[in-house]
Structure formats: C-alpha cells, structure tokens
Structure 1
Amino acid sequence: MTLDLNMDRISVSALGKVAVLFGGDSAERDVSLMSGDGVLAALRAQGVDAHAFDPSKRPLQALKDEGFQRVFIALHGRHGEDGTVQGALELLGIPYTGSGVMASAIAMDKITTKRIWLADGLPTPRWVSLRRDEQQRERVRTVPDELGLPLFVKPPHEGSSMGASKVMGYSQMQEAVELAARFDAVVLCEEFIDGQELTCPVLGDGEDAVALPVIEIRAEQGNYDYQNKYFTDTTQYLVAQLPSELQEEVQTLVLAAYRSLGCRGWGRADLMRRKSDGKLFLLEMNTSPGMTSHSLVPKAAQAVGVSYEHLCLWLLSQARLDSQA
C-alpha cells in the first residue's frame, strides 16, 4: 500500500517564510527540541525558507513583526499543544499546522476527551478523577476498589508519560498521586487494560482524513515510559503487521475518535487491545505528535511510501486558521 499526498502540487515558494515553533516551556521541552530540529532540517532540505523559533525565548508577536507567513508547530504539551499557541496565532492571523484551538484544548485534556468519546459511543478505559481536595489518603486508597489493580495514575494535561505511574498495589497509590499532582491540579486514575499497545496516526481533515498503518509497541517489560519512548533502542515498533481485519478495525475506530474531537491536519491516537477478548480501548489523542528519530507518525508514513521530508512538507502545506477550516 502507498499513500499519494500529491506532493507535485505543493509549491515551496508559495509557502513563504516559515517558523518552526519548538522548545517552549512545557515539561516536554526536550522532546520538542528533538522534534523541531528534525522538522527544520527536513524543510530546509526541500528549499523551504524555514527558521527556528522558540516561544519561550521570544514573544510570538515577533512572528508578525518579522513577516512569517505560516508556522509549523513542533511544540508538545502545555502552551503548544493545548490550544493556547493556536489561539495566539489565530489573533496574529498566521496559519499553523495541526488542529485548531478547540480540538487542541479538548485533546490535551484526557478527561474531557474521554467524556466526549463516551458520549459518541467510543470505548475508553474506566477512570476516576481526583481534584486537589480529593487527593487525601482516605480517598486515594479507595480508588483501586473502583478500578481494580494494577491501574495507571497520570496528570490529564501532560504527554510523553510525564508524571505517569503504573500502580501495582494499594501502598503505591499515594506516591503515584503525589507525583502526578506535581504536573496537574487534577489527577487521572485509569483502569489498566492488559493487552497489546497500539498507536495509529491520522492525516487530513473530516471525512477526507486517512488513517496510516497501525503500529504495535512492544517495550521492555511492557513499560513504555519516557525513557523507552525517546532514549532507548530496545522498544520494538511493529508497523502494519496486524491481521488486515484487525488493522481496519483499529483504523476505523481511530478515525471516529479523531473526527469526534474535531481534529484536523494530523494526529495520533493511542489505544489498547485487551488480551482477554480483543476489545479495543482509546487512551488519548495527540494533536502535535512527536517528530523525533523514535517517533511513530514518521514510521507509519514510511510504511506507505511517504518519507520524513515529504511528510513535513505536506503537513506544512496544510497549515491554516480556524476561519479557513
């Protein structure tokens, strides 16, 4: 299978002066720096007038003042993936890659995402949310009674497994909640789904969106944490190796999840397939996925004949404002 992105229709000169936004001030800054370096090099290699821009070092108004005509967002986490920078670019009138303000804000909040998916009849693991006033030991110790063990504890507004813990017993709950609470006021406790860890990227908008091949992730001891995501070579990524019927089932579900949140441009859904019965569960939607050497969207794109360089150029060509969507 190959995917035709009509690269011959993209005029590099028409893209104008481009800013690649990366770095930022979120907990995922280091990952963003790696993503941005890769995107910047890929765009420049194809003749794009692309420039590095770290919004933690320079005011966004400089984008307007210096004549930038579009932006590739390679920021991850807060102030990059959560609708805030998208809103600023809307006010500045500079088209940007990826989802708009509302979809970005919703997808960044794992709890709100779950509520929308459930309202649309899409499966997601059971969960409990704990506000600041609910993070006392007496309440925390009851969560495993509701969700079972093991379970996951995570901050609902972070990515890259930041602040996340797999809890195996009651004695680990308070420490896990306290870790997640360093990143977020609200803590998300989520049912553990024992099975295959899958991810599936999406390109495009609305009914024209296309799901790329599904990737199965096999990490050492089943621990796909921050270290295994970005800094080791032991994690296995099995691209497009699922049976065709299962591949199509995952892609159909992911497209429904993408459209449910109103995403556009690109995204990547993470999900689990339960070992006991094969049921699929959506975990989260990433609206500004990683573009590092270990990242999964480029791996899936390569499987359908789209190079990293062409992927970056195509994504840039799709940059727009909410008013243009």
Structure 2
Amino acid sequence: MADMQRHDMRIAVLAGGASAERDVSLSSGANVANALRKAGYGKVDTLDPATDTFLDDVRAGSYDAAFIALHGVGGEDGMVQHILEYLGIPYTGSDALASGCGMDKELSKVLYDRAGIPTARGMAIERGETWDAAAIVEQLGSHLFVKPAYNGSSYGVSKVDDVADLDAAIEQAFEYDTKILVEECLVGTEISVGVFGGDELVALPIVEICCPDDVDFYDLSVKYVDPKDIHRIPARLSEADYERAQRLAKEAHDALGCYGISRSDFIVGERGPVILETNTIPGMTESSLFPDEVRHAGLDFANVCAELVELALARADR
C-alpha cells in the first residue's frame, strides 16, 4: 500500500476494555497507535470499548479498519470481532470463532491434541463442582499449575508444590473465571514463539524466558519489566527443538484457525516442546514478547503493524 493511500486512511486502535488486563491493553494500544502513525496512517484514534460512547464513536469515525489491541474477556474472546463484523469494519487478527477457541484453554487443548501438538496433562473443574485435592495429585503429580480457563496475562494463575496449597489456588482461580484448569507442572525451558502473516506464516526468533531466582514462573511481577532482564533471544535450544517449536507454533496457529498474528508459549523438556497456550492477540507493550521478537528478527515494528492492517483489509476484500 502506497504511503499516500495510508495517509488517507482512518484507523481505530481498540484498547482498554473491562477485563482484568485493561491496563496492559491500554499500554499495547498506545504502542500500536504510535507505530501506525510512524507507518504513515493519516488518522489513528484509540477507542475504549469500556466507554458508554464506544459504538457511537466507532460509527462516527468512518474507520477504514480497526487494530484490536484488547486482551482478555471482551477482546480475545471474539466479542468485539462480532461487533466489528456487524458494523462492516475490517479488523486485525483472528475472527470471532478462532478468538473464542484460543481464549478457552480447555477447548484449545482439544484442538492441539487433534493436530498432534503435545500438551500437558490436565483436568478442568467447573465452579460448583467438588474436587478432591489428593485425587488430583494422584492423577497429575504433586507439582501443578492452576489457572482460569478463560483468561490471560497470568491473572489468577498459581504454581502449587504442596497439596496443602491446592484448594486455595483453585479458589483463587475461580475469582477470575467459572471454569479452571489444573495441569501438571512441566520441567524445562519456557519459551514463546510469535508468528504473523497471511498465506505465508513467518515464525519469529524464539524468546527464552529467564525468570529471576526468587520468582516461580513468568507471572505479573516480571511480565512487564525491561525485556533485556528476562528475555533471551534466540532461546538456548537444540537446533531440532528450535525448529520444532517454530513449526508447532505455526501448527497451533492453524489448528485454532488464527489469522494474521498469534504467539504460542511452550515448555521444552524431555518431551521436546510442549504447548501451554496460544495468544490470538499478543501483548504489544514496549516490554511485551512479540515486539521484542520482531526487533530481534530485524523487522520494523511499525511495518509489522501496518502489514497486519493490510491483512485485515485483504481478508475483508475476499
């Protein structure tokens, strides 16, 4: 797309929302908006779906496309995608169906399994169901992760190394969702693999997540600190595991029906890369994983954001 064409376009960056990840989304939106202005788009507005005037603002803006920088419920679950489809506005990223599949960690595991992508053993518990901590440990082991089934950014996630702490971890996860997952805690190297593109997917350099010694896992206390302190790129993996992880990230993208962009997280241990989850709208803050991968690939973040807008327009044309 020529610069003059971009200059004439009106882009709405959707950020904020009402989920627990609102603050992260606002930071993502600000970074994306700056990138799109740098890429030459003439009018870039940031709109917050949590405001009472959101729909009126979208209609009044006569936007050519929307860049979705929302995280969590209301963004990654397909809700806002349905609204934009109804209004006839092209948008970046996955459609409503793929977004919902990616947001639901239990459903994602089913789709990964069907595609032959290795997953961790686990079980789902619905709010109101009874559970037996001892039985869970017998089935999955004594080292566990407990997480909301329908959330992101580590909200409500706990690492459990003592069965005495399991009940409290489950109750905490239920504060964020009506369904939670309990999974075996895999030992290995935690990595993240971003992919983007249309018919030809590009797998970005793999990030190895190096948490401080006093942190059990990649939680909110370290997720948004300076990436140079916790991101090692490229990840220290064997050539075989590196290539396999990039391939599996593309396969996960396809298994969920994603479009344009996604980022999949893995643990690499004795089984090789085992997928944890796929984010259909990766964080786009200055310290987020996806922009850091883009930088280490030698790509310009502004150009990548512009390509995602162009992919949205191409999908709408089809």
- On whether the aligned pair clears a TM of 0.5, the verdict is yes
String of CA shifts for 1:76-113, please: whole Å, max 9, x gaps: 01101111101110110000010111110100000000
What letter is aligned with 1:201?
A: G
- What's the offset of the Cα at 1:73? 0.5
TM-score (norm 2): 0.92
* Equivalent of residue 249 in structure 2, options 236, 251, 254: 254
State yes or no: 1:21 paired with 2:14. Answer: yes
Query: Aligned partners of 1:243 and 1:10: how far apart in 2?
Result: 42
Query: Aligned partners of 2:226 and 2:142: how far apart in 1?
Result: 28
User: How many residues in Structure 1 have an aligned counterpart in Structure 2?
Assistant: 312
State yes or no: 1:120 paired with 2:112. Answer: no
Aligned to 2:224: 230
Aligned to 1:212: 204
Preserved CA contact (<8 Å) 1:151 1:192: yes
- What's the offset of the Cα at 1:214? 1.0
Query: Aligned partners of 1:161 and 1:290: how far apart in 2?
Result: 12
SS at match of 1:252: helix
1:1-325 aligned at under 5 Å gives the runs 9-11=1-3, 13-14=5-6, 16-48=9-41, 49-57=43-51, 58-134=53-129, 136=130, 139-206=132-199, 208-221=200-213, 222-231=216-225, 235-241=229-235, 242-274=237-269, 277-320=270-313, 324=317
String of CA shifts for 1:244-292, please: whole Å, max 9, x gaps: 3332111111111111111111010001111xx2522111110110011
SS at match of 1:133: coil
Preserved CA contact (<8 Å) 2:227 2:292: no
String of CA shifts for 1:112-139, please: whole Å, max 9, x gaps: 00011112221100111111232x4x52
Amino-acid identity (%)? 38
- What's the offset of the Cα at 1:323? 5.8
Preserved CA contact (<8 Å) 1:214 1:239: yes
- What's the offset of the Cα at 1:301? 1.2
String of CA shifts for 1:155-213, please: whole Å, max 9, x gaps: 0111110100001111101110111001111111011100000100001135x112111
TM-score (norm 1): 0.91
SS at match of 2:312: coil
Name structure 2 gaps, 5 residues minimum: none
> What is the aligned-residue RMSD (CA, Å)?
1.9
Name structure 1 gaps, 5 residues minimum: 1-8
What letter is aligned with 1:108?
A: M
Query: Aligned partners of 2:160 and 2:226: how far apart in 1?
Result: 23
What letter is aligned with 2:62?
A: G
What letter is aligned with 1:122?
A: I
Query: Aligned partners of 1:252 and 1:215: how far apart in 2?
Result: 15
SS at match of 1:201: strand
What letter is aligned with 1:197?
A: E
Query: Aligned partners of 1:39 and 1:211: how far apart in 2?
Result: 20
